Amino acid sequence: MKSITSEATSIRGDLSSNLYYKPRLRRNRINAIFTLLSGLFSFVAILPLILVLAYVIFKGATRLSISLFTMLPPPPGLDGGGIGNAILGTIIVTCIAGMIAIPVGVGGGIYLAEYAREGAFSRFIRFGTNVLSGVPSIITGVFVYDIIVSSRVILGSSYSAIAGGVALSILMLPTVIKTTDEGLKLVPDNLRKGALGVGASKFVTITHITLPMAFTPIATGVVLSVARAAGETAPLIFTALFSYFWPSGSDAFFNPIATLSVLIYNFSTQPYQVQNELAWAASFILVVFILAMNILSRWIGHLTSK
């Protein structure tokens, strides 16, 4: 009996000793090395973002002032001025793109998720949106230039804010469609069946049950698409061009318009210090805006988990 007790005690002692971490073991040393390497590679991956943000803040934040938001860019060789017209132009072009892409994208996502569940046409649309999301933005700009700008199909205007908005809306569409489609798929089918069981129509079920339930992922996709569109440059060079004046009146939508991204492109290559400083200030404002949009999208995404 005593031998059995002593043997059980020794076994418990061996088991308890195995519960403690032993750094000298070969497997633990290898695990520590690979953990260190993975942490180092993760830091290297995020290092460019840190350096870019730090450099843009260092170069652009010092130029912030009230006049930067309220004045026009100065002529070459003169001091002062601001980028107010580019800020306003970016808002206008992005709003035009949103008014085109959001209804079409949400409608397309509703069709894919609610009407054409697993058909051949729905698979083709999903494949097309995946391909469109990977198309270079300059291709979109050239396409809109040939269809709208060079043909002057919109009331005889060539370069215009509307043409820029159309180009950006094409870039926004894949994100809005995919997030709407995936967000509606997360809604349980029991809710749809319950609504249909009490006599609700398909339209009422979508508008009163599935869409409100999927509002958070849809809103997240919309915010991310707006953030992407606001930072694009190549499509706007071919469509909206640039302007040194304020957009005013109804003609503002049918004439060239200034945007932050094109202003950065134009002013960064000029041999004048004032224009270079304005380019850095515009870069800082654009980075802050895109960062704010991404933070907003993450906040909206957290609402789903609550």
Residues whose CB falls within 8 Å of the CB of residue 129, separated by 6 or more in sequence, listed in order: 108, 173, 174, 177, 178
Lowest mean per-residue pLDDT among 22-26, 176-180, 271-275: 22-26
- Looking at every residue in the chain, the average pLDDT score rounds to 87
CB atoms within 10 A of CB 130: 12
Query: 163: which DSSP letter?
Result: H
**In Å, how far are 19, 265, 273, 279 from 270, measured between CA atoms?**
67, 9, 8, 10
Q: What is the pLDDT of residue 99?
A: 95
Residue 5: pLDDT band with limits 50, 70, 90: low
178-207 pLDDT, tens digit per residue, is 999 999 988 888 888 888 888 888 888 988
Q: What is the pLDDT of residue 15?
A: 46
User: Minimal CA–CA distance to 259: which of 238, 281, 279, 240?
Assistant: 240
> Which residues lie across from 157 on neighbouring strands?
154
Q: Is 256 left (phi over 0), alpha (psi -120 to 50) or beta?
A: beta
Residue 83, pLDDT above cutoff 70: yes
Residue 77, pLDDT above cutoff 90: no
